[in-house]
Structure 1
């Protein structure tokens, strides 16, 4: 941190690093006195910038009172906002995964292990498909691959893997669609061979 008033604020409150450390431990933040000293002197920054927010909370002061450098303050707030967005997205994804599982689970005969396995397999493949999509977006459709002394451009292998996973999902989708029809009273064609889905 370029500048901060941590030591000054502690002195004004007649608090030591040890007392601050205890308050932080109550918030599940593990730091030692030497780390706090380095933070206050600006010689080191916490890896997790949210520590500054927690310090301001336990000292009952605004973050801006501790972090006086505007650029440092904005950096902290940007990182916290980014982490918060990632956490929110993670929670949303878990909710969607759970809803998908429950939807598919409601279609099957719970007494059959093979049908339960299909639900788990579908959910696993769906998660893999999403992860591959994220990787493709991040790395691009074409990537640089070392070849001897040169770098050559090749199609991202995650694309072909995503196509393969998608084919498996489509196949399982057909099986679940037959289950949906069956549960809605639309019986599949008599003599339908379901072995290809197992």
Structure 2
């Protein structure tokens, strides 16, 4: 993994200790040796969100730190997946999420496989929205440092959103069949924004 953390710290006249202090101020516990391992690309934090926190405290884009596009995509994908799962679980616990309620009304809640599809759909929908926010915030084109130059690349969140959209469409086939079996005397919710 190509990581430019040490270079960015040098440009900002900062040490690992300085970065550690900034992260600790945000409640993130990390030591200098961990930061050194992350910086060398020898180790990746278990919680990939730490990369976003490091980028935020250094006031740079994550792409400036993780310059290898495949590594960047893998990290963003894992963050999005985890966020989606957490968001969905939070909504599930509250039991007031309309999408979750609508999907639950379509299935046999005693069948684990059908419950798993609801959970997966909620997670994917949350991920789709998160990626959309990323695209709106960073734009369709991002600038990635490459050696001494900067390259323009398509925002990797776009490709990830297309992949998530394909998975949502596939799951929609299952829920559409369930909708056909339900009585038609109720108002249908429009979830098409997740499956465009």
Distance 1:137 1:26 in 2: 38
Q: Would the alpha carbon gap of residues 130 and 13 (structure 1) be closer, same or farther in structure 2, given more than 3 Å must change?
A: farther
Q: Let me know the Cα RMSD of the aligned residues.
A: 2.4
Aligned residue number for residue 30 of structure 2: 31
- Are 2:90 and 1:91 aligned? yes
Q: In the alignment, which residue of structure 2 is the partner of 1:77? A: 76
Matched, 1:133 2:130: no
Gaps of 5+ in 1: 99-128, 139-198
Deviation at residue 88 of structure 1 after TM alignment: 1.4
TM-score by length of 1: 0.50
Paired residues of 2:109 and 2:115 also in contact (CA < 8 A): no
Alignment partners' CA distance in 2, 1:66 and 1:3: 8
Q: 1:19 and 1:68 mapped to 2: Cα distance? A: 22
Query: Gapped runs of 5+ residues in structure 2?
Result: 98-107, 118-196
Structure 1 runs, 4 residues or longer, greater than 6 Å off: none
TM-score, length-scaled by structure 2:
0.50
CA drift at 1:27: 1.4
CA distance 1:72–1:31, shift in 2 (3 Å): same
Equivalent position of 2:44 in the other structure: 45
Q: 1:56 is matched with which residue?
A: 55
The structure whose Rg is larger is: 1
1:28 counterpart SS class: coil
Partners of 1:94 and 1:30 in 2: CA distance: 28
Distance apart, 1:21 and its partner CA: 0.3
Post-superposition CA distance 1:96-147 (Å, at most 9, x none): 189xxxxxxxxxxxxxxxxxxxxxxxxxxxxxx9597159859xxxxxxxxx
Equivalent position of 1:16 in the other structure? 15
Q: Which has the higher contact order (CA 8 A, sep 6+)?
A: 2
Inter-partner Cα distance in structure 2 for 1:34 and 1:136: 43
Cα distance change of structure 1 residues 131 and 3 upon mapping to structure 2, 3 Å threshold: farther
Find the aligned partners of 2:54 and 2:66 in 1 and give their Cα distance: 11
Q: CA distance change for structure 1 residues 132 and 21 in 2, over 3 Å: closer, same or farther?
A: farther
